[in-house]
Chain A
Amino acid sequence: MDITNYVVLAAVLFAIGATTVLLRRNAIVVFMGVELMLNATNLAFVTFARMHGDLTGQVLAFFVMVVAAAEVVVGLAIIVTIFRTRRSASVDDVNLLRG
């Protein structure tokens, strides 16, 4: 199977993730969109590593995973704090700051 298929798949997943971020209203779902984008990146890294025949890309995927995990810790903490205050995780309700 042609290896570019994987790259195309990564791009499609990335686009789906980006669309989720831009269109969905729930902060948790928005955040899941970001995670999907990061995982699409991992797929791209691994595919390109295979294509170039070196291991750098595979190692990079691990770095991205670790960063994604750290991001989850901080992100969920912030979202949960807001949820406890307002009983809502909708990004539309987060509208005190504007102008």
Chain B
Amino acid sequence: MIESEFVPPEIDWLALAPLIVVLGAGVVGVLIEAFVPAKARRATQIVLTLAALAGGFAFVAVLWPQIVAQPVQVLGGSLTLTPFALGAQGIIAVLAFLGVLVVADRTATGQDAFAPTASAVPGTSYEDLARRSGLEQTEIYPLLLFAAGGMMLFASTDDLIVMFIALEVLSLPLYVLCATARRRRLLSQEAAAKYFLLGAFASALFIFGVALIYGFAGTVRLLEIAQRLQQGLPLEGMSVLLVAGVLLVVVGLLFKVGAVPFHAWTPDVYTGAPTPITGFMAACTKVAAVAALVQVLYRVSIGVQAVDPEIMRQLQMVIVVVAVLTMAVGTVVGSVQTDVKRLLAYSSIAHAGFLLVGVAGFNAQVQSSTLFYLIAYGIATIGAFGVVTLVRERRVTPGAGEHNGPVGDDGVVLGEATEIAQWAGLGRKAPWLTAAFALFLLSMAGIPLTAGFIAKFGAFTGATTGGLWWLAVLGVLASVVAVAFYLRLLVVMVFQRAQDDPAEPQVKLAEATPGAAPGEAEVSTSGAVSTGATTGAGATATLTTVQVTTAQRIEVTVVRSRGPAAVAIAVCALATVILGVFPSPVLALVEQASKFVP
């Protein structure tokens, strides 16, 4: 009889600490939902969430010198902490922290961006009751923590199966979060359904790719795969399995990155999701997905290069073609958008293209610039969506005294004013907010003295060092087109007069009465003002409780933040400037991170 003895695995707990803190706090958050009284729940959850993300980042900082000196593999490579992976973890923790600040802000209206009960059917008395009794869904915070933890794991694993699980751990909470908007609930639910169906499809493609790679190489660990391929083909004549597998895995990752032709979900989901969630998702998911993509591509390329340089060349061509398409679609389609959230969504697609330009060079030394790009893009995105949460519509009845506080429906602050036309004259109403937003747009456009310029410079350098100078030229051209569409928004904000400016002769009436004569409704100078309320059945359904009965104006107002969102926007703005003017300390840090292989 064989004496069997239990051998406990050796685990480097310190290396796991950032993940344990974030995911563990998510579990604690679920318990808080069960045990903490409803009144104290929100504050407890926010404190716990912020503390967990700060703690995660602190552990990243503690680990940094050790990992830079010697990368570690925990549990046989399930967690592979290279400086690049750890850097991505740190960036995700910081961006998630800023994102949660925006989520936590209830603004002067005293309402957060989430439905009182997301399960209530829009427009029913149950929903009304939930709203009046002031219910809040504090489950948002544990879900955010799970998503952030999943992203951190996604960016730092070498095992394709762990990567698949991390992909689901980050996606499933995001699908749910997308469906929880307080206003325009049908849009929100629709966004969640689209995101879910396409996301599930993409992860099925990903996992089938993993199965094919496993069939070819007999392992799902990327570094082992590279080793086996270097030693010779495991399955002679079956390299089709390898090619198909790698392609499917890359497609799954490109979907998360939001690259064309796998971008179809991006604008819809970014528009429909609650805006603070959009900011979180746009910034953090992109970091996780790009970091994972870079590591998969580079580790796979080691092996594939050994098997057949021709396959390697084709793989690079695929990335190049996707990068060009992504930049083209992102900038061209983005420039005709009329909705701020949609415009930012296309801008995010364009940025995916610029990131891929840097990746396509397949030059490990310059991949640190990818991390810098992700930082610059992430802070600008969270800041920009934070600003969007504060620009709101408000209903005013003419003659009723506009600032007398809530008399009936008068002065009720509604949802966000996301039409670009509604943003006209914002520069006068809220100069600081406009300045911050302008800064984020300039950074996204890549204007010098902002973080975006240094980032784009690095990405295009990545392409030229990889010998793809023409791709870099295309990237610069796309940037120029992109500048045009950011500037268009800027011009509207700063130089155009507000439509509800009293000095303006034409007064628009947003006619929401169902039986109103169409001629009267035509008084509005443009459809822009009424569109906020009539974007679709979703908006009307949520508005039924505050049904407009007389001709009322809907004006655009800027609500005051209660603090957290203002802090997040200020930090993002400051970081954008500092990274643009004195980038060297951060550049030196990410320089250390250009190491993928332990």
Q: How many residues of B are counted as interface, with CB atoms below 8 angstroms from the partner's CB atoms?
A: 50
Q: Per-residue 0/1 for B203-218: is the Cβ within 8 Å of any A Cβ (1 yes, 0 no)? A: 1110110111011001
**Which residues of chain A (69-99) have a CB below 8 Å from chain B?**
70-71, 74-75, 77-79, 81-82, 84-86, 91, 94, 96-99
CA distance A45 to B218 in the complex (A): 10
Secondary structure at the A interface, as helix, strand, loop or mixed, is helix
- Tell me how far the C-beta of B205 lies from the nearest C-beta in chain A, rounded to whole angstroms: 8
Residue from B201, B208, B214 in contact with A21 in the complex, judged by beta carbons closer than 8 Å: B201
Closest to B215 in A: A48
Q: Per-residue 0/1 for A46-78: is the Cβ within 8 Å of any B Cβ (1 yes, 0 no)? A: 011001101011001001100100110011011
B536 surroundings in chain A (CB, below 8 A): 96
Quick one: given A51-B215, A85-B121, A96-B190, are A74 and B537 in contact (CB under 8 Å)? no
B204 touches A38 (CB 8 A): yes
Quick one: given A97-B268, A98-B268, are A74 and B196 in contact (CB under 8 Å)? yes
- Tell me how far the C-beta of A46 lies from the nearest C-beta in chain B, rounded to whole angstroms: 10
CA distance A34 to B198 in the complex (A): 10
Quick one: given A70-B168, A96-B536, A96-B538, are A56 and B214 in contact (CB under 8 Å)? yes
Question: Does B165 sit at the interface, judged by CB under 8 A?
Answer: yes
A70 touches B211 (CB 8 A): no
B121 touches A84 (CB 8 A): yes
A74 touches B208 (CB 8 A): no
- Tell me how far the C-beta of A43 lies from the nearest C-beta in chain B, rounded to whole angstroms: 9
B203 surroundings in chain A (CB, below 8 A): 67, 71
Residue from B119, B185, B204, B537 in contact with A37 in the complex, judged by beta carbons closer than 8 Å: B204
Residue from A41, A47, A97, A98 in contact with B204 in the complex, judged by beta carbons closer than 8 Å: A41
Closest to A52 in B: B218
B197 touches A31 (CB 8 A): yes
B268 surroundings in chain A (CB, below 8 A): 97-98
- Tell me how far the C-beta of A21 lies from the nearest C-beta in chain B, rounded to whole angstroms: 5
Quick one: given A71-B172, A82-B189, A94-B190, are A30 and B342 in contact (CB under 8 Å)? no
B272 surroundings in chain A (CB, below 8 A): 97
A81 surroundings in chain B (CB, below 8 A): 118-119, 179, 189
Residue of B161, B185, B208, B218 most packed against chain A (CB within 10 A): B208
A67 touches B164 (CB 8 A): yes
A74 touches B176 (CB 8 A): yes
Residue from B161, B191, B197 in contact with A63 in the complex, judged by beta carbons closer than 8 Å: B161
Question: Does B250 sit at the interface, judged by CB under 8 A?
Answer: no
B204 touches A44 (CB 8 A): no
A67 surroundings in chain B (CB, below 8 A): 164-165, 168, 203
A sample of 10 inter-chain contacts (CB < 8 A) reads A34-B197, A34-B204, A44-B212, A51-B215, A54-B218, A63-B165, A71-B200, A71-B203, A85-B186, A97-B191
